[in-house]
């Protein structure tokens, strides 16, 4: 059976499920205010200091599950009332302090927050701005640094703490990777949901001439392991989707197109970066804008397969289902807007299936086989590189391909800094914002090393072993694959 990793996920799931259930019944607007008390009936709280605060936090979760703050373009939001359990003092002087004569910590502090009692240093946290200069100069490493989990997880440095000691997102820096969502131990950060929009779209499609397609990310192979993939496909169709298509087919298309792009442009550009991960693309645009021309001009697999579907069915609407919060940002980018209509996460799909009362274990199997081995392994770090190597070898393209594979934003940052000064030992950067690749996405039901094995196993089960075979019946030359 399904197993969530922690209580944060459980509560998030319960909120999404109740929102989905009421939306399916058509009573959400009248009854959404009843959800907090249903999830936390009392009299004792489940997780917080009192049942009233717990319900207040759940109320905020319900708002975000219904779409969140429409004025805020960021799909990641802070639940301020829930952000109050972390240690509020980041830097603390420990017993290792020797009260040295040099007093470098005091001299380094720009706000005069260091003071002394009995020859030992202390920090006035009312003055401290958490710059860390005192820690950097202490010769005894006597100052501890307890960084909040959300800030520690954010490689884009997009989080800061305000005067009320609450976490705040800097939208100008945020790449919406969702690392803070996954790492916050109290669930005080949450991604906005399109779950109500999708449910309404599925309802409308019954009376309108509209076909709603679900395109599922290959990372799904590592998520619903308690049933067969065919049973999951059937369950998705029972929700009202017209058909289920693999995003891995889009990955095959992208691998083919990006390889040709690489061969044609690498001599002029010197190096090219991948463009499949929207958080990685956003990171380059915000942190390394001078390298923007080096980003591949090929769309992501999600956009490629969405455009393919809409080229084949003029009445199509497309909903992406995957582990990625950044995809919610990508569909609204000016260069691809209108290709994919909505995004659901695996967490949200789980809530929808359960809200509809669908038992996947009782479902018959529906086939899902329209992508190659290489398209399916895009879900993990290194998958794109293997696919490009395959195309180069299979089509005998005369080009030197020297990939640099980056697993997580920290590694991406290092590679981009080296590339910026023309010292990159390679000519292609595969960048994945999440460690492990898409299988490590913030909205995965669970994370783990075994996920990579599940993806490879799923890839090997593909009937089409080569990308050329996967694409043989598609006229992809007529498909717009540029961002």
Instruction: Say if strands 316-322 and 243-246 run parallel, antiparallel, or are unpaired.
Output: unpaired
Domains defined along the chain, listed by start:
1-66 (no CATH), 69-78+149-192 (3.30.70.20), 91-145 (3.30.70.20), 195-478 (3.40.950.10)
Instruction: Report the pLDDT value the prediction gives residue 84, as an integer from 0 to 100.
Output: 82
Cis peptide before 289 (omega within 30 of 0): no
Instruction: Report the pLDDT value the prediction gives residue 18, as an integer from 0 to 100.
Output: 98
Q: State whether residue 342 is helix, strand or coil.
A: strand
Give the relative orientation of helices 7-25 and 346-355 as an angle to the nearest 10 degrees. Answer: 50
CA distance 6 to 434: 19
Instruction: Report the pLDDT value the prediction gives residue 96, as an integer from 0 to 100.
Output: 96
Decide: residue 313, CB within 10 A, 0-12 exposed, 13-18 middle, 19+ buried: middle
Q: Which two tokens stand for residue 199?
A: 């449910």
Q: State whether residue 213 is helix, strand or coil.
A: strand
In this structure, the chain runs to a length of 483
Instruction: Report the pLDDT value the prediction gives residue 202, as an integer from 0 to 100.
Output: 97
Q: State whether residue 272 is helix, strand or coil.
A: strand
Global pTM reads 0.92
Which DSSP helix (H) or strand (E) runs through 169?
strand 167-169
Q: Which two tokens stand for residue 433?
A: 């914002």
CA dihedral sign of residues 228, 234, 236, 238: negative
For residue 295, the 8-state DSSP code is B
Cβ atoms of 319 and 342 closer than 8 Å: yes
Instruction: Report the pLDDT value the prediction gives residue 474, as an integer from 0 to 100.
Output: 83
Instruction: Report the pLDDT value the prediction gives residue 1, as an integer from 0 to 100.
Output: 54
Instruction: Report the pLDDT value the prediction gives residue 309, as an integer from 0 to 100.
Output: 96
CA distance 154 to 161: 13
The per-residue pLDDT string of the chain (483 residues; one tens digit each, 9 = 90 and over) reads: 557 888 999 999 999 999 999 999 999 999 999 999 999 999 999 988 899 999 999 999 999 999 999 999 999 999 999 998 787 788 999 999 999 999 999 999 999 999 999 889 999 988 998 899 999 999 999 999 999 999 999 999 999 988 788 999 999 999 999 999 999 999 999 999 999 999 999 999 988 889 999 999 999 988 888 899 999 999 999 999 999 999 999 999 999 999 999 999 999 999 999 999 999 999 999 999 999 999 999 999 999 999 999 999 999 999 999 999 999 999 999 999 999 999 999 999 999 999 999 999 999 999 887 799 999 999 999 999 999 999 999 999 999 999 999 999 999 999 999 999 999 999 999 999 999 999 999 999 887 666 778 888 889 888 888 898 899 878 888 889 998
CA distance 229 to 298: 29
């Amino acid at each position: 059976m399904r197993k969530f990793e922690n209580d944060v996920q459980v509560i998030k799931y319960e909120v999404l499920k109740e929102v989905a259930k009421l939306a399916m019944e058509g009573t959400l607007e009248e009854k959404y205010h009843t959800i907090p008390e249903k999830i936390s009936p009392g009299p004792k709280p489940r997780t917080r200091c009192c049942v009233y605060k717990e319900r207040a936090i759940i109320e905020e979760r319900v708002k975000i599950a219904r779409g969140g703050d429409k004025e805020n373009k960021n799909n990641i939001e802070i639940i301020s009332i829930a952000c109050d359990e972390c240690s509020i003092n980041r830097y603390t002087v420990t017993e290792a302090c020797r009260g040295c004569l040099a007093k470098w910590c005091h001299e380094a502090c720009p706000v005069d927050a260091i003071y002394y009692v009995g020859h030992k240093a202390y920090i006035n946290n009312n003055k401290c701005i958490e710059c860390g200069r005192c820690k950097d100069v202490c010769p005894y490493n006597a100052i501890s640094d307890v960084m909040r989990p959300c800030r520690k997880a954010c490689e884009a440095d997009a989080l800061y703490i305000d005067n009320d000691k609450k976490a705040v997102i800097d939208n100008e820096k945020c790449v919406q990777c969702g690392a803070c969502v996954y790492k916050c131990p109290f669930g005080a950060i949450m991604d906005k949901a399109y779950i109500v929009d999708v449910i309404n779209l599925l309802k409308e499609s019954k009376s309108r001439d509209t076909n709603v397609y679900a395109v599922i990310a290959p990372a799904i192979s590592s998520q619903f392991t308690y049933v067969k993939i065919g049973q999951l496909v059937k369950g998705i169709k029972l929700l009202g989707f017209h058909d289920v298509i693999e995003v891995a087919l889009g990955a095959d298309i992208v691998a083919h197109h990006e390889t040709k792009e690489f061969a044609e442009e690498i001599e002029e550009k010197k190096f090219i970066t991948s463009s499949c991960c929207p958080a990685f693309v956003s990171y380059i645009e915000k942190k390394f804008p001078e390298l923007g021309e080096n980003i591949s001009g090929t769309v992501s697999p999600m956009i490629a397969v969405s455009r393919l579907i809409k080229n084949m069915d003029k009445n199509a609407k497309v909903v992406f289902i995957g582990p990625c919060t950044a995809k919610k940002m990508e569909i609204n980018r000016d260069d691809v807007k209108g290709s994919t209509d909505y995004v659901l996460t695996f967490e949200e799909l789980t809530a929808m299936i359960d809200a509809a009362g669908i038992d996947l274990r009782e479902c018959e199997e529906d086939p899902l086989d329209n992508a190659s081995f290489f398209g399916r392994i895009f879900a993990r770090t290194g998958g794109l590189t293997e696919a490009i190597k395959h195309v180069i070898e299979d089509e005998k393209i005369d080009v030197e391909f020297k990939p640099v594979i980056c697993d997580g934003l920290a590694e991406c940052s290092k590679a981009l800094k080296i590339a910026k000064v023309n010292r990159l030992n390679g000519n292609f950067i595969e960048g994945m914002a999440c460690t492990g690749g898409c299988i490590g996405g913030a909205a995965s039901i669970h994370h783990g090393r075994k996920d990579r094995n599940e993806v490879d196993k799923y890839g090997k089960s593909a009937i089409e072993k080569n990308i050329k075979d996967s694409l043989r019946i598609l006229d992809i030359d007529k498909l717009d694959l540029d961002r």
